[in-house]
Structure 1
Amino acid sequence: MPEMLGYKINTTGKKQSQRRLETNIKGAWRELGVFCDSSPAETKGEARHRCCQQSPSEREGAERRATEALRLGEKGGEDADWKSCFQCFVDVQDSLRLCSGHILTQYNIVNVDSCFKKLDHIFNTNERVIEAGRVGGGFDQTLKEILDAEILPMVKEFDQKQNYDTVYERRLQTAADNFIAAASKLPRVSGCFPPCGFQSAGAVYNCITCKYDSCEFPLDCPVEEIEIMEKSKSKMWCHVPFDLPDDIEVIWRFAEKVKTEQMDEFREVTAGVDRLYSIHSTGLQHQGTYQCEIYSGGRSIVRLYFYITVTPQVVTGHTELQEIFDLSLLPGGQLLPAPGGSRSSNLPLLPLLLCACLSTSLLLLFLSLGALYWFSVPEHRYPDEDSDEGGDFMSE
């Protein structure tokens, strides 16, 4: 019986609660005319007369007990763990008034059980209705207004009146189609963006649970690895693909020389609203893990991690020079051609260069030998000078 009303009873370990709930609902609905099937001792006509000929006070008391029984099922917890789309927006009392005059054409008797089965089929288990209800935040109230506009006029029209099941079928199906058409035009959300973060803006309304489904991602994002050269400027941007509230607070933390996501290893370095953290001249002491945590209203929304590896500048310079030297040599120890030239254009110049170097070396050798010979020859006096002097002495 409870399942026909759109509630699924959680019976695990709670058999007595289930039986008590079913007894309350059946007893109240029997007084209202739900179970108007004839007993072995009476005809169908007598059963219909017994169920439908009640005083206003008797009917009011039965409605009150039926309402309380239904609300017990609505509360969930011990006795129920599921709700349906129709129950999200339509009041229990309105449902009772809507179905109180439902007549089975085949037997010409009032049977509210069949009415609730129609509601389940047309609204509660209808995938098109559920999908139309998947709207963004804040539009669940609009869904209620749309459904009330379709159902409440029927409640007012059918209250205390009897109508055949074919009329109910036609009118309820039209109401469901109108709800689908109107609800489908409401704004949708882009949904959830993996892999992390509490994304309330991406949640969509679930007509089965009567609440918004949150994006079930962890707060901690995967660690992003960054390699940076010493004395270079490094930047870390705390960016997420989903929309953030306006009242955010950003806290940056640092765990020196380790790659980690353990909160107790971090120390706070700055707090405010700036999602950009930069280091003007990165040193070896800056190597480690940086954490950016975004808060809103005192609640954490997301945590991002950046692991920075710093390469020393000396090692970097040596490595770059070695790479340049290796690239400059061709196989066989030959040098690369000059820019704009080809390797073949340099080959005829090599013999000329070798000849010039050899000629210069030989010239320097001969000049050196000549200089040595010149300085090694002794000084001699000439005979003419001596004869002149002797001649002058004899004339005197």
Structure 2
Amino acid sequence: MRVTHLSLGDFRNYGAAELPLAVGPNLLIGRNGQGKTNLVEAIAYFATLRSHRVTGDAALIRSGHESAVARMRVRAGEREVLLDLQINQGRANKAQVNRNSVRPRELTRWFSAVAFAPEDLIIVRGEPSGRRRFLDDALLARHPIASGALTDYERVVRQRTSLLKSARARGSAALSTLSVWDDQLVEYGVQIMLARRELVRDLSGPLQDRYRSLVGSDHSPALSMSESVADAIDAAHVSRETFDTHAAASVSRETLATQFRKALSAVQSREFERGVTLVGPHRDDLLLSLNHLPVKGYASHGESWSFALSLKLALAELLRSESTAGDPVIILDDVFAELDASRRASLMAAVSDYEQVIVTAAVEGDVPNDVEWNRMRISAGTVTPMTGASDESADTSERAE
């Protein structure tokens, strides 16, 4: 799979932009603040329907405008598809596939990408919400149909939490419909939990392989889940040391649903007191370890970078092994500047056989020079192909977008 062309209108700093892309490695080069990251942000948005930089869509729309438009041609084998997206201020977004109107979430069925940016360090160093976001974006990439369960689950949590808050003010009589929301919370929550368990299980092997190839040694990187359902039931408590990813992924839906209901019963009084839904996938965490120690708080800066990169590369490998549409597009946004020469070479070697790789850099000297790049110069929101010898005139003092 590859992107052949991206068109933007009123997206971020672009009034209009046309970006042709080639098979193989593509390099977007330019000083900071010129719009490199905005281009790859638009491409990655088609895969997840959200930005890797901000939580809402408003920042994607050019200042003073009501909407932004992104149009992308994608080729998978001999088939080409045109994807259109209109991001609107204060109203629902709109989407098209080959000029036919569809729900925006349908776009994720047609395009797959794995992006890595400095912001992704939040996966290993940040709060659980960042790791949950990684899990859910990975689920969408692996099973686009999961968007329905994720959306429905978020809706149920909002409604159920609103009911709990109302009950604090009006008394327990307001909880007469709580069982209805409990049923839906369990239904959608179990789907998400099982899909996450399978994902963690299937990423574990590729993560170890990618980390070893990137770093040159085996530091035993590992993944497991910390689940609020299990934590709410003493008899079924799952700790970091005892969680078996293979066994957890094979638990039946019925068994997990029963555990979920027991957990809801166990925390019922606390939920009523606090007006908060206390158990479910929205309270879970992905546990990351290196040499049997938590990455957060123990790993060095370099180890944290390597772990986060390896996790994204593991996801790309998993998607590639399962897809009939070809490789996911690999996006590396301002990554090479943070790596030493050895890890730059290892990273490029790890992605070199993907059908398309898109790299951004402020300084061309930061990327491997033994690669036949399709180069684009980005300057003040203008995209210019670079057909001559490599141009290293970018200000070397400015490396971050």
Structure with greater Cα Rg:
1
TM above 0.5: no
Q: TM-score, normalised by structure 1?
A: 0.22
> Of Structure 1 and Structure 2, which has the larger fraction of its residues in strand?
2
